[in-house]
Structure 1
Amino acid sequence: MPQSYIKRILDARIYDLAVETPLDDAPLLSERTENNVLLKREDLQPVFSFKVRGAYNKLLQLTEEERARGVIAASAGNHAQGLALSAKHLGVTAIIVMPRTTPSIKVDAVKRHGGKVVLQGDTYDEASAYAQALVAEKGMIYIPPYDDPDVIAGQGTVAMELLRQHPAHIDAVFIPVGGGGLCAGMAAYIKFVRPQTKVFAVEPEDAACLKAAMKHKRRVVLDEVGIFADGVAVAQIGEETFRVIKDCIDGVITVSTDEICAAIKDIFEDTRSIAEPAGACSLAGLKKYVDSEGITGQTLVAVHSGANTNFDRLRYISERTEIGEGREAVFAVVIPEKPGSYKKFCSLLGKRSVTEFNYRYSDSGQANIFVGLQVNPYKNERQELFETLTKKGYFVVDMTDNEVAKLHIRHMVGGHAPKELDNEVVYRFEFPERPGALYKFLDKLAGRWNITMFHYRNHGAAFGRVLVGMQVPPEEREEVEQSLRELNYPYTEETDNEAYRFFLA
């Protein structure tokens, strides 16, 4: 029974290495959701993840003879770091098998903590199989990342701290799930001490092994596992963890990549820390629960489980955040191919900030444009804008939930112009990032000269970068230059640029 874990958790003597992490308020998110939202900051552990708790507790239970043989583990990164640091602390040799897809920041951290890294396979399960083979070959002790009572008990100390730090009532706690060690330990403790507190497991939609197990009432193996949230990218829930979890949780919530990215932003804005995708998973679940259930006035806790992510992933995360928060709408729109069409179209957008605008001339009849816009998710602006454009006679397709559009097409709109297009000149601009900047440009130029190409993306800086093509007869070039100078936007002519000539002219 899960109650058997209470003594194990209380007896875990891990605090000569692990630290008691704070339970922080999330004031901005609390105000926005009209709930008291708290974050359990496991990103502040020595290895920036809760995993050090379970790994160290497991090593403490080994005999001196077992420690002398050395330890081995398979991990996507956080368990690896926790075990490497724990082994170094106790003077134990540690070999860590990691998938080749593991972010380099985690691989480097394991090496820095004294662990020997072996890269094998593309998923955790492939790495685990190889680690088991090494156990048989070398006679070392295998340290599971989650499916072990001592590891589970170590992770359960997060809940012990949480309930001590917040003695008042907690309505619900949201816990990320991969293999289930953290959720099993925390859920067992919470349900024993405060059974009235709800516990929700949260996992990615593309790695929902617990949801599948709960549905079938047995452990199942997923055919495919998404690896965006690599810390919870597991194809099958653990045997022991599932035995505990199935009796201790109030539900499973699955979240999308966009929702995780939005939660990463929320955590940053409230704490100035950057969560890894798995680390923000629980907050994404909390927000989804609040939205679906209409919850207000409750105390809700999400476990910020880790902050080990590669810096270069932030570009992708930032790009997906606005859509994940429901703050960006992406439309494909057909407008007439004639001077003034862009200005008329943009006038219907009102004061909304344009996040992206892509177009390339294809024929003289109509223009297909790809546009992203900031919208207020709480006022249904996305649907209102769609209806407004449709009523004005535009053919509009909502691409906001289209993965191909978001991942690929938005970067591929364009190509070479048709042969009949002549007198095209190209300019590169810096627009100030404020509502109305695009309309000001179009008001000055688009009614006179036909726009043949337009590419703009908001990158969150003070200035947006824009590439524009226009049909301008040679005798009107000086007039265009004069209009550009009057705009007072920094610009450079790029008509002779090699990249334009090679791919777009």
Structure 2
Amino acid sequence: MSKHTTKDTFAERVDRAAETLRGLFAETPLQVNHHLSDKYGGHIYLKREDLSPVRSYKIRGAFNFFRKELARSDAANSFVCASAGNHAQGFAYVCRHFERHGVIFMPVTTPQQKIDKTRIFGGEFIEIRLIGDFFDECLRAALAFANDHGARMVPPFDHKDIVEGQATVAHEIAAQLPAGKAPDMVVLPVGGGGLAGGVTRYFEAIGQAPRFVFAEPEGAPSLKSALAEGRRIKLAKVDNFVDGAAVAEIGAEPYRMLKHHLAEDVHLVPENRLCATMIEMLNIEGVVLEPAGALAIDALKDFSKRELKNKTIVVVVSGGNFDFERLPDVKERALRFEGLKKYFVFRFPQRPGALRNFLDLMGPDDDITRFEYLKKSARNFGSVLIGIETKERRNFDTLARRFREAGWAYQDITNNEMLAELII
């Protein structure tokens, strides 16, 4: 039995978790980022959770859960989780560390790269079972396994031991900042809320009161919706592009810690804008981030330089498990957000020389990246999908004028989500 009692404060429990965590890996760096500091006018520090052994903060919660469970007399020898991402990898790494058997349920649709990486982290101590096409099916199978085999279910965020583990991020930040300096602002990504709940609770517990800013995907606003309604609600639909933070309902334990914040504290990050941030960090800083890992950095775009000037700002970079097969899609979304790429459906004349006439309207910095007939059954005209990329967004104003003067009939479908999903 643990010698510590339930009278320990939250901060004391987190401090102890951080101390024991050092037996697994060293603290992740807190780095001044000069590019972002110059861009936004503040003293911006990045807490690099993408540099943990599993390239995300999820290892912290999993470790603390195992540590505390194994300290109890009735501890299970077998553990189970459901995840297709960072939680699975953190779980696998910890299974190997504690030499405990773990079963990981993943959807059949999980990319092979993620499966292989999880298997490397867990080695002989884990087995992976692929169940169903969607996460909900996978979760049901994991819960059934835990019930039937007496295995301990390790949730990704909604458990006090998980939240305490994630809060070790704040313990490290407080120790890593220059002596006598406290953050004026802490920017946190939000998915299920375990990280945000733990970090805010820790800073409050040690008597520091930075301004907390939360960043959620625009397509999965579970915390903002809950704060606006004054209760947890389950979203009817989420956009899974930011897969590490696409959660339909904020966790009960995290919400308990976050419910005193305002809905205005939560910034919704458009997915295409987020892609531009990912590309910026890759090209300028050489930092590879997954979509959820770039959320907090992207939220800085919502502030003016005047608001951030001379402020000490800590931005939590939650993960860097990026599948480079997604890079073309990320670059595409980034270009569309920046106004450098557009898609049009043209009513194209079916006559010799029509294509040459169209190409003559292009400027020196304009490039046709896609040309595809959608319908050619009409005798005089055919519908053509044309993608155009350019170097300056104002070039599209020039093109629009040329198209109009030349009498070309067309429709800009760049921001038409329904059509874009069907034909782009």
TM (norm. structure 1) is 0.70
1:151, 1:181 within 8 Å by CA — same for their partners in 2?
yes
Q: Distance in 2 between matches of 1:171 and 1:280?
A: 20
Q: Which residue of 2 aligns with 1:11?
A: 16
2:361, 2:399 within 8 Å by CA — same for their partners in 1?
no
CA gap of 1:407–1:375, structure 2 versus 1, over 3 A, is farther
For residues 469-498 of structure 1, the C-alpha deviation after alignment (integer angstroms, 9 at most, x for no partner) is xxxxxxxxxxxxxxxxxxxxxxxxxxxxxx
Higher relative contact order (CA 8 A, sep 6+): 2
Amino acid at match of 1:41: R
Q: Distance in 2 between matches of 1:52 and 1:43?
A: 11
385-394 or 242-251: bigger deviation: 385-394
Q: Which residue of 2 aligns with 1:374?
A: 390
Measured after TM superposition, the shift of residue 385 of structure 1 is 4.1
Aligned mate of 2:265, from 251, 266, 272: 251
Measured after TM superposition, the shift of residue 201 of structure 1 is 1.9
1:386, 1:398 within 8 Å by CA — same for their partners in 2?
no
Gap runs ≥5 in structure 2: 1-7
Is 1:86 matched with 2:100? no
Q: Which residue of 2 aligns with 1:268?
A: 282
Q: Which residue of 2 aligns with 1:356?
A: 369
Q: Which residue of 2 aligns with 1:163?
A: 174
2:222, 2:235 within 8 Å by CA — same for their partners in 1?
yes
The residue correspondences of 1:271-310 to structure 2 (distance < 5 A) are 271-287=285-301, 289-290=302-303, 295=307, 297=309, 298-310=311-323
Aligned mate of 2:230, from 179, 192, 217: 217
**Quick check: which has more Rg, 1 or 2?**
1
What secondary structure sits across from 1:206 in the alignment?
A: coil
Alpha-carbon RMSD across the aligned residues, in angstroms, is 3.1
The residue correspondences of 1:83-482 to structure 2 (distance < 5 A) are 83-112=91-120, 113-114=122-123, 115-167=126-178, 168=181, 170-193=183-206, 195-248=208-261, 251-287=265-301, 289-290=302-303, 295=307, 297=309, 298-332=311-345, 338=353, 341-346=357-362, 349=363, 351-354=364-367, 356-358=369-371, 370-374=386-390, 376=392, 381=394, 384-385=397-398, 388-389=401-402, 392=405, 395=409, 397-404=411-418, 406-410=420-424
Q: Which residue of 2 aligns with 1:443?
A: none
Gap runs ≥5 in structure 1: 411-505
For residues 331-373 of structure 1, the C-alpha deviation after alignment (integer angstroms, 9 at most, x for no partner) is 4566877566335412xx4x53436252658765798562423
Measured after TM superposition, the shift of residue 209 of structure 1 is 1.6
2:189, 2:196 within 8 Å by CA — same for their partners in 1?
yes
Matched residue pairs, number?
A: 400
Q: Which residue of 2 aligns with 1:423?
A: none
What secondary structure sits across from 2:21 in the alignment?
A: coil
307-316 or 63-72: bigger deviation: 63-72
CA gap of 1:368–1:109, structure 2 versus 1, over 3 A, is closer
Amino acid at match of 2:295: C
Q: Which residue of 1 aligns with 2:3?
A: none
TM (norm. structure 2) is 0.82
2:346, 2:384 within 8 Å by CA — same for their partners in 1?
yes
Amino acid at match of 1:16: G
16-25 or 318-327: bigger deviation: 318-327
